[in-house]
Amino acid sequence: MGCEASKIIHPDGGHPSFGSAEKAKAKAEFEGQLAMAEEAAVYELAEGEAANAQALTGSALRLGQQFELLTPMLVMPFSVFKAQGRIMKSTKVWRDQALAAGSLVEHEEGSGKTVIFVSHTWWDRAFKDDTNDPNNPYDQGAPDWQSGKHKDCKWRVICAGVQRLIEQEGRKEEDVSLWVDWQSIYQDDEAEKLKGVVSLIRYATLCQYMLVPTDEAKLGALATRYPDSIPAYGSRGWW
C-alpha cells in the first residue's frame, strides 16, 4: 500500500469549512475519506511493525547460528516442571525415564513453542550426593536448596515468575517450556556436560525469554533493569 492512500488534498490548502446545507454531503464525504485514511495509515504502520519484527527475528536466528550447538537443547514443559515439585538433577536413570516419558524433550528451532532460559547462580554450593565424583573437587553444588527451611525455594520462585509471565504476555501454558541447567545439561558425564556448557549461548538464542530467579525479597530499581546489578548474580550470571 503506497503513501498516497493517507493523503487528502483540500482545494484551499487547509481544513475545509462546512457552513451550508449544500456542503453537508461534502462534509460527510470528507469525514469518510479521513476515516479511511486513518485506517490505512494504522494498517500501514502495523504492516511495517510486523515486517520489522520479522526482520529482527530473522537476524537473531542468523546470529544464533554462529554459535555452536554440540548437543541437543533439552527442555521441560512448564506443566511438568510444576508437577515434579523441584529442580531435578540430570543423571542417567532420571534422564532416561524423563526422555521416555516426554517430560524432557529436545527443543526444535521453529517449533513455535515458547522457551524460557533460566539464568541463575547455584545456592547450595556445598551439596553432594552419591552421583558426585569423589575424585573431582569441583563436582559439587546444587542450584536450589536441597534441605532445610528453604528447600526447593528456587523452584517455587521460578514457578511464580513463569506463571506471571504467561499471564502478562498472554501465552498458553501448554506451549511454554523451560531450560534449566541442572536438568537440561548432563551432570554425570563430563564430556557431555562440557558440550552443554559450550552450547549455552546457542541455547539462549533459541529462547524467547530469560528468567533470573533471585533470593532477595526486594530488588532496587537499578537491579530490576540491569541484571549485572542483581546482588550475588551480576558478577556470575550467564550472559
Which of 36, 64, 92 is the last residue in one of the domains?
64
Host domain of residue 27? 3-64
Say yes or no: 59 and 131 in one domain: no
Look at residue 28 and tell me if it is in a domain. yes
Say yes or no: 51 and 87 in one domain: no
Which of 15, 41, 64 is the last residue in one of the domains?
64
Rounded CA-CA distance 158/151 in Å is 14
Which of 46, 64, 82 is the last residue in one of the domains?
64
Residue 70: how many other CB atoms lie within 10 Å: 12
Residue 223: how many other CB atoms lie within 10 Å: 18
Rounded CA-CA distance 182/120 in Å is 11
- Looking at residue 110, its pLDDT comes to 81
pTM (whole model) above 0.85: no
Nearest to 182 by CA among 127, 115, 107: 127
Q: What is the pLDDT of residues 121-151, one digit of tens each?
A: 889 999 998 888 888 888 899 999 999 999 9
Mean pLDDT of the chain: 79
Determine contact, residues 211/158, Cβ cutoff 8 Å.
yes
Burial of 180 (0-12, 13-18, 19+ CB in 10 A): buried
Residue 110: how many other CB atoms lie within 10 Å: 7
Domain count, the chain: 2
Say yes or no: 51 and 93 in one domain: no
Rounded CA-CA distance 130/187 in Å is 12
Rounded CA-CA distance 215/6 in Å is 53
Determine contact, residues 233/212, Cβ cutoff 8 Å.
yes
What band does 7 get if pLDDT is binned at 50, 70 and 90? very low
Look at residue 53 and tell me if it is in a domain. yes
Say yes or no: 189 and 224 in one domain: yes
Rounded CA-CA distance 116/89 in Å is 18
Q: What is the pLDDT of residues 178-234, one digit of tens each?
A: 999 999 999 999 999 999 999 999 999 999 999 998 888 788 888 877 788 888 787
**Phi and psi of 211, rounded to 5°?**
-110, 130
Say yes or no: 122 and 171 in one domain: yes
Say yes or no: 168 and 59 in one domain: no
**Phi and psi of 116, rounded to 5°?**
-110, 125
Sign of CA dihedral 94, 157, 75, 237: negative
Look at residue 99 and tell me if it is in a domain. yes
Q: Please state, in angstroms and as integers, the Cα–Cα distance from residue 191 to each residue in 18, 66, 133, 188, following that order.
A: 81, 22, 14, 9
